[in-house]
Structure 1
Amino acid sequence: MLTEWVLAIEGTEAGHNVALGLALLAAFLHAVFGALQKGRHDPWVSRAVIDVWIFVLAAPLALFAVPWPEAHLWPILLGALVIHFGYKCLQAAAYTRGAYTVVYPVVRGTGPLFTVFGAYLLFGEAFTGIQWAGVAVLLCGIFGLAAYNLAFLETDRATLRPALWLAVATGLFVALYTTYDAYGIRASSDPFTFLAWFFFVTSLDIPLLVALRQRHKFAHLALRPLMIRGAMGAVIAFLSFGSIMLATRLDKVGEAAILRETSTVFAALIGWLFLRETVGPRRMALMALIAAGAVIVEFGG
């Protein structure tokens, strides 16, 4: 079974290699997920529809396909609900006020730095000097990309300052949920039980909030393309968040968090290809810095 295979390679060289692949997969998929939420629909509406689909897909898995959570997992799942609700609210608010290619790098730049410290405090993980140099290179690329996008931004300038503050706060919640989710999945004897119930428990908060307070945003919307986008986002969320959580179960939390932040490169490419946001040679050079920083962290351990 898949569970036995995951438990067998946990903490081994094979587990490290699988975690590397999962973290990079999560990076690409997270960028796609962010673009889906930032697309032509209101971010709150997009997130609500995505979460409804997550609930629909997670329910049969949680209720029938995996063992029920052990008693000690219930308060952990409740904590995950609170943390992810804060993260989703902050992310939607930031996307509402700021351009995707400015907000997203700031979110992803603040997240890994605090995650590394959290992983040290919770799990006793420590980076080498070379790995810290890689973190510095990666963060220079991420924040340089945000600064460059900010300098040449032509839209959303009136709301940019609150968008950037919201992006920093969202990044702090990224660090919080990354370390907390790693703690949760490690506390479960069956990692797929935690994953299934995590998605099941944390998927109804934003839909309920939007249904109670922002129902007017659904007026005059073409529901069919919105439902299709929501279903796509739900599948991507399963694969993206599931991949990074499995990676933190198999290997070091800090390294997985850093590698996931190559999502900023994918986000810039998606912004260029699908959201019609400009990418030039300077931004390509900054994206190369991000990738180089991730490589240094991976091979500097």
Structure 2
Amino acid sequence: MSETVRALEGTAAGQDVALLLALISAVAHACFGALQKGRHDPWLTRGAIDLWIFFLAAPVAVFVVPWPVGFEWAVLAGALGIHFAYKLTMALAYERAAYTVVYPVVRGTGPLITLAFAAVFLGEHYGPLQWGGVALLSGAILGLAGANLRAVQVVDAAALKMGLAWAFVAGLLVAIYTTYDAWGIRLTPDPFTFLAWFFFITALDFPLLMGVRLLRGTAQVTGEVRALLLRGLIGALVAFVSFGGIMLGTRIGKVGEVAALRETSTVFAALIGWAVLGEQVGRLRAALMGLVALGAVLVQAG
């Protein structure tokens, strides 16, 4: 499998595979976000997800793939810090604001910054049409957040503002971790070494945090523990597809293009809200979702 990935790097076929992985990751990430914002405390839900990720990734990391060597350990340590900060800000945002408001803010903030980071730090080059496409995509996603915000019944305005602030910070961290992870997986000779060990070590933090919060009484399990663990297992499997897919995509394709296409997850999130949660889409949101898709098309056309 590693040889196949390396053979696809820098080829037209590899770019097609990278874009397909980005689309699959977009669908998976929309599902992942919805799983985190459920009837359970978002801190506990993320802890349950990471607990499963840890146990599922451990045997692969320890017994199947080559172990990291030398500087690769430092790269993984950096990924641990960045992703912990991202997960922390997401939990803080979900704790204070609705999923349909938080999610588009997070996803709309990242694409333009990711494109800039990829150009500066990874030496990738993009044309005016691609910059325009990403700007349109980001603007439409943030427009979705505004439309969702107007539809939400505000109970605590201060909490909502804090939720939006944390969502914006999380969006910045999305751009940072997307660029950093692309650099890290390209640096590692075997991409599956980076993936397996990434999932293994970055899943340690929130289970420990979950335990501390339960012991201190600052979090409570609302509903059955079995339901929480089942949600965690499903979330872990979805995370492998979402984060694993986007990382492999950035290894064999251009980071900015892959990241922009991945942000069509906001469209899938809205569709999930409509089909599963019974939310109304409306003409404005439908038009904005169309602009998100058009922005992604322009990025690829450029």
Say yes or no: TM over 0.5: yes
Match of 1:49 in 2: 48
Shift of 1:279: 1.6
**2:176 aligned partner, one-letter code:** L
Match of 2:236 in 1: 234
Match of 2:28 in 1: 29
Match of 1:62 in 2: 61
**1:224 aligned partner, one-letter code:** R
Q: 1:133 to 1:59 in 2, by over 3 A?
A: same
Match of 2:187 in 1: 187
Match of 2:210 in 1: 210
Contact map agreement 2:51 2:207 (CA 8 A) in 1: yes
1:91-240 matches, cutoff 5 A: 91-158=90-157, 159-215=159-215, 216=217, 217-219=219-221, 221-240=223-242
**1:123 aligned partner, one-letter code:** L
Q: 1:219 to 1:37 in 2, by over 3 A?
A: closer
**Cα deviation code 1:245-280 (max 9, x no counterpart):** 000000111111101100000111112222333321
Unaligned runs of 5+ in 2: none
Contact map agreement 1:141 1:289 (CA 8 A) in 2: yes
In 2, distance between residues paired with 1:156 and 1:292?
35
Match of 2:260 in 1: 258
Contact map agreement 1:26 1:260 (CA 8 A) in 2: yes
**1:230 aligned partner, one-letter code:** G
**Cα deviation code 1:167-218 (max 9, x no counterpart):** 1000010011000100110010000010000000100101101211344334
In 2, distance between residues paired with 1:199 and 1:135?
29
In 1, distance between residues paired with 2:222 and 2:169?
32
In 1, distance between residues paired with 2:268 and 2:232?
20
**Cα deviation code 1:87-110 (max 9, x no counterpart):** 000001101111111111010011
**1:168 aligned partner, one-letter code:** F
**Cα deviation code 1:69-97 (max 9, x no counterpart):** 12110000000000000000000110111
Root-mean-square deviation (Å): 1.2
In 1, distance between residues paired with 2:75 and 2:33?
26
Report the number of matched residues. 299
**SS at the partner of 2:53?**
helix
Tell me the TM-score normalized by structure 1: 0.96
In 2, distance between residues paired with 1:128 and 1:109?
20
Match of 1:292 in 2: 294
1:271-286 matches, cutoff 5 A: 271-286=273-288
Match of 1:90 in 2: 89
In 2, distance between residues paired with 1:54 and 1:265?
26
In 2, distance between residues paired with 1:36 and 1:213?
20
Tell me the TM-score normalized by structure 2: 0.96
Contact map agreement 1:99 1:155 (CA 8 A) in 2: no
In 1, distance between residues paired with 2:155 and 2:120?
38
Contact map agreement 1:93 1:163 (CA 8 A) in 2: yes
Contact map agreement 2:41 2:220 (CA 8 A) in 1: no
Unaligned runs of 5+ in 1: none
Shift of 1:125: 1.2
Match of 2:16 in 1: 17
In 1, distance between residues paired with 2:155 and 2:32?
21
Query: Which one is further off, 51-60 or 141-150?
Result: 141-150
Contact map agreement 1:98 1:156 (CA 8 A) in 2: no
Q: 1:129 to 1:219 in 2, by over 3 A?
A: closer
**SS at the partner of 1:245?**
helix
Match of 2:245 in 1: 243
